[in-house]
Structures are given as structure tokens and as C-alpha cells.
Amino acid sequence: MVTSAWRLQLNRENQDHPEIIHRFILSDLSSTRSTLNHRATLAGLEETVKSARPVAEPNPGFWSQLQKYEEGLQSRSRRPPEPSTQVDPFTDYGSSLTVTLPPELPHQPLPAFPEGPGAEPSCCPLAFRVDPFTDYGSSLTVTLPPELQAHQPFQVILRYTSTDAPAIWWLDPELTYGSAKPFVFTQGHSVCNRSFFPCFDTPAVKCTYSAVVKAPSGVQVLMSATKSTYVEEEGVYHFHMEHPVPAYLVALVAGDLQPADIGPRSRVWAEPCLLSMATSKLSGVVEQWLSAAERLYGPYMWGRYDIVFLPPSFPIVAMENPCLTFVISSILECDEFLVIDVIHEVAHSWFGNAVTNATWEEMWLSEGLATYAQRRITTETYGAAFTCLETAFRLDALHRQMKLLGEDSPVSKLQVKLEPGVNPSHLMNLFTYEKGYCFVYYLSQLCGDPQRFDDFLRAYVEKYKFTSVVAQDLLDSFLSFFPELKEQSVDCRAGLEFERWLNATGPPLAEPDLSQGSSLTRPVEALFRLWTAEPLEQAAASASAIDISKWRTFQTALFLDRLLDGSPLPQEVVMSLSKCYSSLLDSMNAEIRIRWLQIVVRNDYYPDLHRVRRFLESQMSRMYTIPLYEDLCTGALKSFALEVFYQTQGRLHPNLRRTIQQILTQGLGPSAEPSAEQGGAGAEAEGDVDTPALLLGDEAPSSAIALRDVNVSA
């Protein structure tokens, strides 16, 4: 992953102080997979930086310094000054960043303009150097002028361009639904935004920001900001985020987007051809979800809650950017999955956006709490049975992943050790969500009353809003809020110690009682048992009498997942399943169809391969294409996969095309590798995005599970 982390020296006395220099290196570091071509211009000085892929780890002394700095962040978040960014998304690649600093903030980048009453701004060029490229990016060190007096506030202006930035996704018109105009969006999670703008790219650091964006006429620009204005005659948008946020929550999208109001403080944005569907799916309900969340956890603090639906190239399902949730358009047809995904992002407004995990090693603090809040909201809105069904579906996927990884897998810990050079995105897995949820649910059971626990979470948000926290902050607050539990030493109960929850590998130490959903899960279990019973003829006859067309989406998905877990199945079973369900499943949403098609592929059931082809011809999304291609290439159908890919690659984003090419060419000779003429052109490794699937190794089934099930949000 390309990174562009920057550091600025603080004052003349500390220009060569190694500890202070290290404090400006980002505490959450990513591996890099490509070269960086980055042009940095500072106050009239210009230098082009070209760096190759790093081949060595940093010296051990650096890590000890970095660890000391991160330990200093454990109990509080840092708030640097507000940057102001100028971007011109469609006409050139030049941007500038202005950082203003008050004099009382130590260890911060210092400005280049003297400020104060009667002071005239003046600009002077500054000497600087760009350090060699490492796993963390290219650091910029600025030498301050000798005449600068101590404690004198000033500004630093950085002018920069980048030819390779994995945070920014540029789409030609044909990669959008309407095929009318080009499109661009950013995806900053976890550590991509350091390639979008110079920043302190760690969740421990929060700041407000302002941005000015110029775009051609007819192109709508949106950002994750609380305020925005548009100067039509100049084609310029002004944005301002008034609350401090971590760098990964700064987001931009521009394209052929139209709005429609769906509530008093919400609207959807989508391409014109999708706007009616998006409006019909979400009109009125988003306000219900926001109101339920406010009753539980306190006022919504971000002003508007808008949703923008992005083309299928969007690499994840949804992203909780404050004020402007990003959602992949492919999920629009999947009603129940859409509901859960958007409610999860609503919950992030309190848990993740307002109160953020200070380190990537404790992502469960955002995802586990957001998942708990999501299920409290769905219980309030749709009842306990539906919530228990969705929870059973997700926990089923968790146990599937646990079986594939093994119970001693280090990624199954809630507090995962982020090793040097590891991309934090690789720590995103079902344990972050579901094991984190189970721990939060366990805490709620300790206090004996969900409403009392809601009160605690409301107080927790109020105390820590707009800051970053570590697990100890949450647990100390919990025991302080419930002193009777502290007296009972609930944190040290044998087998359920808080420390063991956080640091033990394996499945959750306790799981929620889902009996309230048994009316929905029992029919699924019964039907699955029928299809695995003997004799097949009698079982199939009984099973075919059960009408699953009336089932909820999560019921059907859970049933198909059970069949998928049991694959390969006897051919006569697959034949009977196809006869009974294939035509019905053709009319269902993509979340259902992909599960059936994976059963088809893993069982080499050739009569239904035309359905696989038709599905891949119609899909351009990572979450629906990669699992099928991985399954096809694991079995005896790689030649079929190559054929379909060569016919459809022109409609795929270059990043996705590159990923599929890598899947297709694993284990093949050089002659089988797709050439540039066959679609490799433009599929730059620099722009490719790692997915959580990489956590699970090379087994195709495990990768498919991780890609589809993990990406509830970023």
C-alpha cells in the first residue's frame, strides 16, 4: 500500500532530536506493495521523490522509540491543528495543505506565516528534505528559519501531487451504473488517507478540517463534513468538519449524483438511474433508526445523516464516514442486508466516529460496540426475533472462520498485536465484530438489565466523545458506573476474566442467548436436517414441500451457508437441490444467489454453470466476484473461469481486474498469464486494495467467507 506519512520538526532546538522526530511517524503502520511517485512543493521549493519497494525492516531502536510514543497515546487522544486542503479532482493532480498551529501545542508542525494583531502575513521558502521511503511512507522534515521566535504561531503550506494514491479511486464513465460521467471516491480506512493528504494517520489523533474542491459543471462533490457551500460561478465547493475526527474518516466523492430527501435530517445521493430505488428502500426508516439510537445513547451529534450509493467498484460494503455514509450500490437489492449494513453505520456515529479506538490493535472497541448498538437498534425497531436471527447468522460465520483458522490463531484475539510492516486492514475479521460483540453483550448481562447498560454506554459516549480510547478506558468506566460489580470482582471471574476476553485466542468465552429467535432459526435447522437425511428420495420429497419463498433473507442465507459448509455433497443431493430451488433462487437477491452458486461450483455441478456465468457477467463488485473466482480456481473449473473473465474483464475496475488475474494465474505457467492486451493494462498494483480475505491464507473457501462476511463496514 502506498503511504505518504509526513513529519514536520517543531522548533530549531529539536531539529535533530531523534525522539521528537520519531513522534511524528505514524503509530499505526502499513506494509507497502508498490513504488511511490510523490511531488512535494513547500513554499516555492520543489522536489520529486521516487522510491522503490522497501526490502528491510527499520532498525530496532526506531521501534522502541515508536512504542514509547504510542504508550503515551494510550490514555488520551492527540488533537493537531485543523488542516485546510484544496483539491481539483477532475482537472489536475495538484493539491495543497495548510496547517495552522497555536503556540501552546508542543510537538506539532509549525506554520510559516507570522500571525497576531497587526502582523502582516509573509511567506518565506523553507529548506526541507524527504527521507528515504520505508514501510511507513516518505517523511518530510522542514528546517525553520532562524529568525522565528519561540512560541510564535505560524503556518506551513505543503503543495503536493501524487500519481499513485490507493485512497483515491478514479472511475471512467463505463464503470458507473449510468455510464454518463467519470466518478471518483476515496476510501481512507485503515491507513490509505496518508496517500490522499499529508496527515497524522493514526486513530489516536483527531482534528477538524476544511477543504476547497473545484469540479467541472454538472459534477456533484460531497465530503464527510458538517458544513458545505457551493459557489456556482467558480465551480468551487467549500467544506468544513467542525468536530475532530481521525484521518481515516475524511472522505470525498464526486460524480453524477442526485439527491432525494428521505427524512428531516437525511437524504440519499445516487446516480439518477438508482435514485428511485434508493429512495424507496430508505425513505422514513433512517429517521426511525436515528431516533432509536438517540433514545439509547444520546443525541446524534453530526447534524445530517446522508447516504451516498457508490458504483460496484467500491471495495467494501459500507463505510461510516461522519455525515455521509458510503454504501455500495450492489446491496440495494438485498433488503435485509441493506437494513443491517446501514444501521451498523448509524451505530458508528456514536461508537467509532465520536469515540474511537486509539490503536488499530483494538478495533473491537469500535466494531464490537457498534455491532452491539446495531442490534439494540434492530431490537427496538424490528423486534428481538429478527435480531436473534441476524446474530445467529453472523455467529455461524464466526464459527466457520474459527474452524478454518484454528482456535490458536492470533487474529482471534480482541487485542491483536500489530507486527511491524503489517497492514492494519488485515486485522479486520469476524472476531473484531462478533467476538467483540459477545464481550460487550457479556458486560451487559453482568449488570442484569439492558436498559442500565444503555445508560452506561450513553455516559461513556458523553465522557469520551471526540476523543480516542483504549480498552482500559471502557472497562474502568464500566466498573466505575457499576461499583457493586467492581466490589464483586466480576473482572476476575474464573474463566471469564476481562484480561482473558481480550488476550485469549479462540471463540468467545460466552455467547448470547438467542432463544427469542428460535421461531425463525428452527425451520432452517429442520430443513437442513431433511436434506442430509436418508433415504434421499423421501427426505427430498419432504423438503420440497417447505416453501422457502416466504422466508426472511437471513433464513435462506443461513440455510445455504449450512449446505455450503457441508460441500462437497453427494451429486444426487446437489441434483435434487437444483431441481427444487435453482429457479426460485434465480429471482432472489445477490446475497442469496452467490451462496447457491458457490454450492454449484464447489460441487462441480455442470448443469447450473450457465447461472454462474450469467451472475459473473452481471456483477462488477469485489464481494460477489472474488469468492466465485476463488472457488472456480480451487476446483476443476479454472478454464471456465478464464473464459468468463476474458469476456467480462472490460467492465471491471482495474484494481478488481488485477486481483482476479492473480487468482486465475496461481499455479499456471507463464503462458497462461493474462497479457496487457487481455486486460492487464491499467491494473496497477499500486492501486490495488488489500481485503480482509488475506487474513485467511490461500484456501479459497476461507477467503470467500472473509471477503463477503467480514465487510459489514470498513
Binding-site residues: 344, 348, 367
Is the peptide bond preceding residue 671 cis, with omega within 30 degrees of 0?
no
437 is catalytic: no
What is the spatial order of strands in the sheet that 94-100 belongs to?
45-51, 36-42, 155-162, 94-100, 83-87, 207-214, 236-245, 227-231
Enumerate residues 6+ apart whose C-beta is below 8 A from 696.
401, 404, 405, 702, 703, 705, 706
Placement of cell 455525515 in the chain: 323
Whether the Cβ atoms of residue 221 and residue 213 lie closer than 8 Å to each other = yes
Q: What DSSP string runs through 107-161?
A: SSPPPSS--STTPPP-----EEEEPPPBTTB--EEEEPPTTPPTT---EEEEEEE
Which candidate, 322, 41, 42, 6, places its Cα nearest to that of 139?
Answer: 6
Placement of cell 522503490 in the chain: 52
- Kindly tell me the sign of the dihedral angle through the C-alpha atoms of 20, 24, 26, 31: negative
Enumerate residues 6+ apart whose C-beta is below 8 A from 281.
332, 335, 338
345 is catalytic: yes
Distance CA(682)–CA(691), nearest Å, equals: 20
Burial track 43-74 (b if 16+ CB lie within 10 A, e otherwise): beeeeebebeeeeeebeeebeebbeebbeebb
Secondary structure of the chain: what % helix, strand, coil (to 5)?
Answer: 45, 15, 35
Q: Is 636 exposed, middle or buried (0-12, 13-18, 19+ CB in 10 A)?
A: exposed
Which grid coordinates are listed for 606?
Answer: 455442470
Distance CA(341)–CA(323), nearest Å, equals: 16
Q: Please tell me which residue in 271, 320, 345, 630 is annotated as part of the active site.
A: 345
Which grid coordinates are listed for 608?
Answer: 447450473
Would you state the torsion angle of the CA atoms of residues 148, 149, 151, 154, taken in this order, to the nearest 10 degrees?
-30
> Which strand (E) or helix (H) includes residue 404?
helix 384-405
Whether the Cβ atoms of residue 178 and residue 77 lie closer than 8 Å to each other = no
Cα distances (Å, whole numbers) of residue 114 to 7, 42, 96, 111, 156: 21, 16, 19, 8, 10
Partnered with residue 461 across adjacent β-strands are none
Which grid coordinates are listed for 285?
Answer: 426508516
Distance CA(128)–CA(101), nearest Å, equals: 19
Q: Please tell me which residue in 297, 433, 442, 624 is annotated as part of the active site.
A: 433
Partnered with residue 183 across adjacent β-strands are 171
Enumerate residues 6+ apart whose C-beta is below 8 A from 697.
703
Which grid coordinates are listed for 83?
Answer: 488542516
Could you tell me which residues are annotated as the binding site for Zn(2+)?
Answer: 344, 348, 367
Catalytic residue ranges: 345, 433
